[in-house]
Structure 1
Amino acid sequence: MDGGFSSYHNGGPTPQQDFGRLAQTIGTSILKISQNVSSMQRMVNQLGGSTDSQELRNQLHQIQHYTQQLAKDTNVHLRDLANLASSSGSSSPGEQRQRKMQKERLQDEFTTALNSFQAVQRNAATKEKEMVRKAKASAGVGLFNERKQETLIELQDNRTQKQIQQQQIQEEQNLRMLEEQEANIRQLESDINDVNQIFKELGALVHAQGEIVDSIEASVERTEVFVNEGTQQLRTAATYQTKLRKKKCILLIIGVVVLAVLIGIIAWQSS
């Protein structure tokens, strides 16, 4: 993992530049994984056929191992990208929304590429297991050592012994190749389990992001409740103010009437 993606803390690139650079790296890696899967599928289709060879199998194992490591690195980079996307900094809401959409798109593309990669891994493992089973059955590997000892005792002719020795050498080579194939199959099954782990980590990442979204939505809902409560309180206060104004008007009218009566009484007594 490139430590340069956090260099902006020391006066290096800005978070936006780091995000763009890391997103580009992830996109390139996903494209390479997809291309490798296509190459692997062509090789797997040749296994057991007329074009099958040890060189082909070696190439298949090499590209599978390289793609496996590339998937692990991409998974780490995606976690870094999620951290950068969640740190708003001085980004505008529009930029934050764009980064979130780009991150989710890369996660979806990586998941699709991983599914294809694991499918071709399983296909390769199934084919190689079947090839090893057939090779053992046809060569009688389980009886190899016993047959070798019996043949040496029964046949004493020099020419025949030489042929038997050559046959034994060939069988030993075949046995080593079978053992190597079985080791490759075990490694392939281990790699498949590693891809399963990557899927789990991706799921956990998406789940964690979902909880953040849920928290934001909950905050919005709480804000809406507070706004509604505030609106209701304002309406209640307005009602109280209206009633108070009515009371003031009534008292004013009563006061005017009383004053008018008093003036009338005073004027009548004066006359």
Structure 2
Amino acid sequence: METSYQGGVAQEGGSDNFQRLSSTIASNIKKISQNVSSMSKMVNQLQTPQDSQELRNQLRQIQNYTQKLVKDTSSLLMELMRLPAEHPAARLTRDRLSDEYMATLNAFQTTQRSAAQKSKEDVKKVKAQSFNIGDAFATGGGNTDQQLVEMSDTNLRKQEQITRQTERELLELEEREQDIRQLESDIKDVNQIFKELGQIIHEQGAVVDSIESCVEYASQNVESATQELRQAATYKNKLRKKKVYIAIILAIIICIILIIVFRH
């Protein structure tokens, strides 16, 4: 079955690293979403007439590919979150991608849990059937050696067929239990990814708040400085006017003195 997983690790270096990372992450999120949709349809077919070993193999394959893609995308997103996003457009892109990825990751984990739950139910049924088959082979108290010898070849062949079928079921049971253990391990990995991304997003939020606080503080300082400059300009204008008034008064006084002197 063709899956949507392709290696999603971007190359480092270059001034357009942010753009390449964001583009790769967006593409990977789309692939993961498509795979989750396919997985959900397969999980819904489990325990129905459409259920088959081929279906379970396809589900396991696409789940494994998606798990790898999730890990790659998580690494890329963490790298993107650590890059400086000075422009508002870059911050919006980073926040949008993180929100979309977290939602997609949540849908993937929900599908994983549903698949694990149905697999556990199937294992319980197989174990119960195997136990009942074992009881059917138990030798009853009324059976004698003579009766066992007189069993027909047909019954012996039936017993052999049932035994082989039981062995196949036990092998399938072991494989399913191994798949369940792997699926539970993958679910734990996704939980860890949630925690790591949540921590980084929280740290980025604190950094953004700090930057916004600094910008607000700087804006307040600029406004305060502007107000002080206006006050200084007002004081300067008033002082200049005072000097003009004093000069005019002095000139008038000098003129009066000169007039008095010339008259005498």
| TM-score, length-scaled by structure 1 | 0.78
**Alignment partner of 1:233 is 2:228:** yes
Asked if the contact 2:81–2:201 (Cα under 8 Å) also holds between the matched residues in 1, the reply is: no
Counterpart Cα distance in 2 of 1:99 and 1:27: 14
What is the CA distance between 1:76 and its match in structure 2? 0.8
Q: Residue 5 of structure 1 is aligned with which of 4, 11, 34?
A: 11
Whether contact under 8 Å (2:10, 2:20) holds in the other structure is no
**2:8–2:69 CA contact under 8 A, matched in 1:** no
Question: What's 1:263 paired with?
Answer: 258
Residue 108 of structure 1 corresponds to 99
Aligned counterpart in structure 2 of residue 185 of structure 1, from 174, 180, 187: 180
Structure 1: segments with no counterpart, 5+ residues: 9-13, 89-95
Q: CA contact under 8 A between 2:10 and 2:76: conserved in structure 1?
A: no
1:130 aligns with 2:121: yes
**Distance in 2 separating the partners of 1:110 and 1:3:** 16
- Secondary structure of 1:48's match? coil
Is 1:78 the counterpart of 2:77? The answer is yes
Query: Structure 1 residues 248 and 20, CA, compared in 2 at 3 Å: closer, same or farther?
Result: closer
Return the alpha-carbon distance in structure 2 between the equivalents of residues 74 and 153 of structure 1.
66
2:167 maps to 1:172: yes
Report if aligned partners of 1:148, 1:168 keep a CA contact under 8 Å in 2. no
Please tell me whether the aligned partners of residues 33 and 70 of structure 1 are also in contact (alpha carbons under 8 angstroms).
Answer: yes
CA RMSD after TM alignment:
3.0
- Residues 8-67 of structure 1 show CA distances to partners (whole Å, capped at 9, x for unaligned) of 4xxxxx322x44433333233222212222221222122112222222212211211111
CA positional deviation for 1:152: 11
Could you say which structure has the higher helix fraction? Answer: 1
Distance 1:134 1:254 in 2: 113
Q: What amino acid is aligned across from residue 5 of structure 1 in structure 2?
A: Q
Verify the 8 A CA contact 1:75 1:198 in the aligned structure 2: yes
Q: 151-160 or 190-199, which moves further after superposition?
A: 151-160
In structure 2, list runs of 5 or more residues that go unmatched: 1-6
**Residue of structure 1 in register with 2:64 after alignment:** 65
The answer on 1:43 being equivalent to 2:42 is yes
Structure 1 position 267, deviation (Å): 2.0
TM-score normalised by length of structure 2: 0.80
Q: Percent of pairs identical after alignment?
A: 46
CA contact (8 A) 2:116 2:180 kept: yes
**Maintained 8 Å contact 1:152/1:161:** no
Match of 1:244 in 2: 239
- Check whether the contact 2:119–2:180 (CA below 8 A) recurs between aligned residues: yes
> Does the Cα contact within 8 Å between 1:68 and 1:191 map onto a contact in 2?
yes
Amino acid at match of 1:137: A
One-letter code of the match for 1:197? Answer: Q
Superposition deviation, residue 232 in structure 1: 2.7
Distance 1:224 1:23, change over 3 A: closer
Partner amino acid for 1:102? T
TM superposition shift of 1:233: 1.8
Q: Following superposition of structure 1 onto structure 2, how do residues 209-220 of structure 1 map, counting pairs within 5 Å?
A: 209-220=204-215
